[in-house]
Amino acid sequence: METPFSLVYGSDAMIPVEIHESSPRFQSFVAEESNEERRVNLDLMDDAREEARIKAEAVKKRVDHQYSSKVKLRRFQVGDLVMRKAHPYELENKLSPKWTRPFRITKAKGNGSYNLETLEGSNAANLKFYFS
C-alpha cells in the first residue's frame, strides 16, 4: 500500500525523530543505493499512481452502490397529500416541527419535482407523505 507522500514524491518520508535519534533506517542509509532505488521507484511511480487511482475508483463505486441500495425511491401521484421539509428560517427553536403543513400535489414534473398547492398556492421540493 502506498502512502500519499510516496505517491507524490516517489519515496517514503523520514520524520525528524528518525534522523536525530539515529534509527536503524537512518544508520543503514547509503547514498549510492538510495539514488539507484529512487530511479527505480520513479520508473515504477506511474504504475503505482495508476493502481492507487483504480483502487480509489473501486472504493467510490462500492460506496455509491452501498448508498444506492439503501435509498428508497418515492413516487407521488397527483392529488397525494405531502408535507414539505421546513426551511431553517421557519424553525423557531430546536423543538419546532421539522415538516410544514400538508400540501396537495397538482403536477408531477419528473425527476422528483412536483408542483404543490396550498390554500395560497405554493411550490416545494423536500417532501414526505402526509397521513390524515
Pair type for strands 127-129 and 122-124: unpaired
Query: In the prediction, which pLDDT does 62 show?
Result: 95
pLDDT tens track for 34-90: 778 777 777 778 888 888 899 999 999 999 999 888 877 778 888 888 888 888 888
pLDDT band of residue 122 (cuts 50, 70, 90) is very low
Residue, of 99 and 64, whose pLDDT is higher: 64
Instruction: Give the sheet arrangement for strand 81-85, strand by strand.
Output: 122-124, 113-117, 99-110, 81-85, 127-129
Locate the domains of the chain by residue range. Answer: 4-70, 81-129
Query: In the prediction, which pLDDT does 66 show?
Result: 92
Residue, of 54 and 104, whose pLDDT is higher: 54
Residue, of 79 and 125, whose pLDDT is higher: 79
Q: Mean pLDDT of all residues in the chain?
A: 77
> Comparing C-alpha atoms, which of 132, 126, 125 is closest to residue 80?
132
Q: What's the full length of the chain, in residues?
A: 132
